[in-house]
Amino acid sequence: MGIHDDGGGNGNGGDMEMSSVVSLGAKNNKYRRMDSELTDYDDDHHQLEMRRKSTRKFVFTCAVFASLNNVLLGYDVGVMSGAILFIHQDLNITEVQEEILVGILSIISIFGSLAGGRISDAVGRKWAMGLAAVIFQAGAAVMAVAPSFEILMIGRILAGIGIGFGVMIAPVYIAEISPTVARGSLTSFPEIFINIGILLGYVSNYAFSGLSPHINWRIMLAVGIIPSVFIAVALFIIPESPRWLVVQNRVEEARSVLFKTNESDAEVEERLAEIQLAAGNTDAEKSEDKPVWRELLSPSPALRRMLITGFGIQCFQQVTGIDATVYYSPEIFKAAGIEGESKLLAATVAVGITKTVFILVATLLIDKVGRKPLLYASTIGMTTCLFALAISLALLGQGSLGIALAVLSVCGNVAFFSVGMGPVCWVLTSEIFPLRFRAQASALGAVGNRVCSGLVAMSFLSVSRTISVAGTFFVFSAISATSIAFVYFIVPETKGKSLEQIEQMFEKGYELHEGEVQLGDVEHLMQKK
């Protein structure tokens, strides 16, 4: 009985105890599952964050390396403004020869840009950039040892072809490799590097100006070879454009590149599908045997809108006189009353610093405030500064007030240019054209840019002798005012849209307005979250 009771009691107690253990175990397992889920979430979040950082670093590196060719253009523009003073003394060239020497690079670069579009379609974007660097390097070497004006011109022609190649390929490559949300700031990198090159050219002028006139300008020009060495290294680091790879039916290689440049697998597949769709259209059009150049000469309504926008903004970038301001800043400051080569070259360094600092402002803002707001600020500010410079040269004479206003106006002009017209111009022309036309249509835009640059550079001295430096800048300010209207009526906002969505926007005749662009941004951000 006792044993029975005891056994029964122990049995019931054992059941209760076992139940408690099971219950406690279940609770422990629940906590363990929650901990496991939290750990898995933390791991996933950590991996996502690591990939995001890795992606940003990789794309940033690609954009930097792709932009190195633009240092060559900027350096040539900056260094020639000072070197021409000593070339004039050493080789006894005339004023007309001086204008030709300065402007011929822009004119010759037209051929480089035209060839660059077709070559980049044939061999790929990055190898076209490499070829550009090699050709420029050869030109710089010839210029550095030139014993006469004729040999100097041969080097200048080679350099112009190389620059024409590089100046149109870099923005196209960066636009094609960049994620949508950062495309604007990354595609503005070439303009940043142009400005860095200009500043380096100004500093080189100032640093070597104390040497013999027979030696100093040669060293100034020879220093331009150095960036080409870094470009050679870059070619073994940066990948090919994924959009070009898809066109070449190298889809797996394109996917591999997209994995390095996009932050999620879903985004990779989405971008790849968009590119394949665009490339599929390309293949269909190729099967109809329509050469790209023929369609560019006889464009559809959508393509015509793209060409007007791209070609127009490229021309307005130069006809407002920015290259004249940079190339001939010593002449402008001399007209304002600054005397002595050292003081003139020191003043140009201030211009270079201003231009470089404000391009960084544009890079920070272009994907936040959009393309058009920056263009409005730029064109209005440039118009005001150009008009103020003309007034200072025409009415204030060569006193301290006139010099101060002239320097301030030139610095203000290059600052407003760098905030908008400088970088946004290249961003727009690299993102508005369909995949099939992108390289060659961008090349046409670069041709318009280089033609206008060459005409302004080659005519500035002659025109300023005819109507005065002040009169020339009155003309530039009037043209700049016209560019405000062009931006208002012609240029659409492309912020926050993929390259393929921008193509659809032009096909619909700009029917996607600001609200829709902003809605697209919100949807993209929600997907990110």
Arithmetic mean of pLDDT, 95-101: 84
Is the pLDDT at 276 greater than 90? The verdict is no
Which residue would you say has higher pLDDT here, 527 or 398? 398
Is the pLDDT at 432 greater than 70? The verdict is yes
Max avg pLDDT among 14-18, 225-229, 361-365: 361-365
Q: Using CA atoms, how far apart are residues 220 and 69, in angstroms rounded to an integer?
A: 18
Pick from 169, 174, 180, 172: nearest CA to 62: 174
Max avg pLDDT among 21-30, 89-98, 299-308, 382-391: 382-391
Look up residue 219 and give its two tokens: 């060293």
Which DSSP string do the residues of 120-183 spell out, in sequence order?
HHHH-HHHHHHHHHHHHHHHHHHHHH--SHHHHHHHHHHHHHHHHHHHHHHHHHHHHHS-GGGH
Q: What is the pLDDT at residue 289? A: 46
Contact between residue 349 and residue 203 where contact means Cβ atoms under 8 Å apart: yes
Helix axes 68-91, 125-145, angle to 10 degrees: 20
What percent of the chain is predicted at pLDDT more than 90?
17
Max avg pLDDT among 128-137, 140-149, 332-341, 398-407: 140-149
Q: What is the pLDDT at residue 17? A: 47
Residue 254 identity (one-letter amino acid): A
Q: Which residues of 361-378 are buried (b: 16+ CB within 10 A; e: fewer)?
A: ebbebbbeebbbbbbebb
Is the pLDDT at 284 greater than 50? The verdict is no
Q: Using CA atoms, how far apart are residues 108 and 131, in angstroms rounded to an integer?
A: 16
Distance (Å) of CA 131 to CA 41, 159, 391, 442, 450: 48, 12, 45, 18, 19
Position 290 confidence tier, pLDDT thresholds 50, 70, 90: low
Please give the model's pTM, rounded to 2 decimal places.
0.67
Query: What is the tens place of the pLDDT at every residue in 209-250?
Result: 888 888 989 999 888 888 777 887 888 888 998 988 998 888
Alpha carbon 377 to its chain centroid, in Å, reads: 19
Q: What is the pLDDT at residue 36? A: 54
HEC letters along 92-110: CCCHHHHHHHHHHHHHHHH
Lowest-pLDDT range, 37-41, 71-75, 205-209, 310-314? 37-41
Residue 286 identity (one-letter amino acid): K
Is the pLDDT at 469 greater than 50? The verdict is yes
Lowest-pLDDT range, 14-28, 199-213, 347-361? 14-28
Q: Using CA atoms, how far apart are residues 318 and 145, in angstroms rounded to an integer?
A: 31
Lowest-pLDDT range, 263-267, 368-372, 373-377, 385-389? 263-267
Q: What is the pLDDT at residue 508? A: 75
Q: What is the pLDDT at residue 433? A: 86
Query: What is the tens place of the pLDDT at every residue in 18-71?
Result: 444 444 454 455 545 555 555 555 566 667 778 788 888 888 888 888 888 788
Position 427 confidence tier, pLDDT thresholds 50, 70, 90: confident
Which DSSP string do the residues of 370-395 spell out, in sequence order?
-HHHHHHHHHHHHHHHHHHHHHHHHH
Which residue would you say has higher pLDDT here, 312 or 14? 312
Distance (Å) of CA 445 to CA 189, 430, 448, 502: 18, 9, 5, 17
Look up residue 397 and give its two tokens: 């004479």
Q: Using CA atoms, how far apart are residues 78 and 329, in angstroms rounded to an integer?
A: 10
Arithmetic mean of pLDDT, 292-308: 84
Is the pLDDT at 484 greater than 70? The verdict is yes
Pick from 128, 159, 147: nearest CA to 225: 159
Q: What is the pLDDT at residue 287? A: 42
Distance (Å) of CA 73 to CA 159, 195, 498: 9, 9, 29
Q: What is the pLDDT at residue 351? A: 83
What percent of the chain is predicted at pLDDT more than 70?
85
